[in-house]
Structure 1
Amino acid sequence: MISTAPSKPFFEPIRPVLMVLTSHGIKGATGEATGFYLGELTHPLAEFEAAGIPFELASIQGGEPPVDGLDLDDAVNARYWRDDAFREALRHTLRLGEVDPARYSAIFFAGGHGAMWDFPTNDDVSRVTREIYESGGVVGAVCHGPAALVNVTLGNGAYLVAGKNLSAFTDDEERAVKLDEVVPFMLASTLVLRGAYHHPAPDWTAKVVVDGRLVTGQNPQSAAGVGAAMRDLLLHPPA
């Protein structure tokens, strides 16, 4: 007898990665424009898409977020920026407060200086990150993206980053771009105050640190590496 019942898949499909962007478009009191850094979205996204891992875009306020680092000499940036489907998704990002964390296998925070203003103070950042992490998901961030992790606490009240090895935009790099007196706090130093072990590389050198299900990178040069490390964790979850 031949059964017509559908066979079970050999594996469960990977749920989407929620890629979160800043909605803050001004560098403090300078009046200078900022936003999310394009390459810190496109380079991880290229790693996910090449592996067949789905994604959704969100931002703090929803809708179209401000963009910085619009370098179209970067082939990956150019490919996405000229892609109508990508641009349409970017114009209609989900509002972070309206997403269901249970739908996602991971959360990723792109950098860009705007992240320093709205990521750390947003309750939805803390809530969604905590729920994804505590349900066994992966948390990733690059450059100023780890600003999202500064105030995330777990169910036991401890900071998510406490006792964790990580990387983020360094204090030296912040001074090098002459924004150390513009940003509301120094990111790497603040993460250390939260109990993290920060691992810096020389300025503008790629550095990716994986600690369990936490993946972080230092700067734009680290963006593809963060995406690749997250991809590997999603395709081959640790036992």
Structure 2
Amino acid sequence: MSSVASRDRVLIVLTSHGKLGDTGRSTGFYLPEVAHPWHVFTQAGLTVDLVSVQGGEPPMDGHDPADPVQQKFLEDPEMSAKLKSTPKPGEVDPSRYGIVFYAGGHGVMWDFPGNAGLAAIGRQVYEQGGVVAAVCHGPAGLVDLTLSDGSHLVAGKRVAAFTNDEEAAVGLTEVVPFLLADRLVERGAIHVPAPNFQANVIVDGRLVTGQNPASATGVAEAAVSVLREQEA
């Protein structure tokens, strides 16, 4: 790792896209895939920061007031302030982070791929010995993440992501701009699916990915474990 600070900070990446294609429905980052990992990270003694594609307060989806972890996240004074005023990718110093975590929500399918700033964050965190993690649609942030040698981070690596079957099950196959699992395979990834909506966490070196919301806690736990292994 590049510094002591980078071992105790996590950067969670959020979408700024709030329109679900031409459905007339809203989307955004999926709150459970942020709140539950945040809980894991903070319980592990890590500090969590946020970044979003456009900065400011990003659109949110999936809020369940009956979920105490979501409520704790939203009511936490520090996280509430960070959520209302997220920086843009270019305003973030990747050297401060041991983990970058690409959270899901359908919005990411529109604004994570092709974003050079997000890719640069992931590249630097990975190349300085940190962990790159993503869950559900969050691996859209890995689609165009290339390393300094020009290779795709996911090339030759086992990954989990929201599956084609799951996209069909939620009726959005024709709405999303591409099918995430297919695009990752095109980039050289080895996609490892599990049954629909079942927890599935895949660890390949310092790349940790999860298939769906049920995988969010497990991805965070695995990311912390991999980070601790780098410290040993």
Q: Distance in 2 between matches of 1:73 and 1:120?
A: 33
Corresponding position of 2:64: 71
1:166 and 2:142 matched: no
Query: How does the TM-score come out when normalised to structure 2?
Result: 0.95
Aligned residues: 229
What secondary structure is seen at the aligned counterpart in 2 of 1:191? helix
RMSD: 1.4
2-structure distance, mates of 1:204, 1:93: 30
Given that 1:60 and 1:97 are in contact with CA atoms closer than 8 Å, whether structure 2 keeps it comes out as no
For 1:39 and 1:61, the matched residues in 2 are separated by: 21
Q: Which moved more, 1:90-99 or 1:159-168?
A: 90-99
Residues 8, 45 of structure 2: 8 Å contact kept: no
Matched, 1:97 2:83: no
Partner of 1:40: 33
SS at 1:32's partner residue? coil
Query: Are 1:143 and 2:145 matched, yes or no?
Result: no
Question: Bigger radius of gyration, 1 or 2?
Answer: 1
Partner of 1:127: 120
Flag structure 1 segments of 5+ consecutive residues without an equivalent.
Answer: 1-10
Contact 2:38–2:73 under 8 Å retained in 1: no
Which residue is equivalent to 2:220? Answer: 227
Tell me which of 47, 57, 81 is aligned to 1:54: 47
Alpha-carbon distance, 1:186 to partner = 0.1
Residue ranges of structure 2 left out of the alignment (5+ in a row) = none
Please say if residues 14 and 29 of structure 2, whose CA atoms lie closer than 8 Å, have aligned partners that are also in contact: yes
Please give the secondary structure, in 1, of the residue aligned with 2:148.
coil
2:200 matched to which residue of 1?
A: 207
Q: What does residue 116 of structure 1 align with?
A: 109
For residue 107 of structure 1, the aligned residue among 61, 80, 100 is: 100
Q: 2:154 and 2:231 mapped to 1: Cα distance? A: 19
TM-score (norm 1): 0.92
Task: Give the letter for the 1:187 counterpart.
Answer: L
Q: 1:238 to 1:104 in 2, by over 3 A?
A: closer
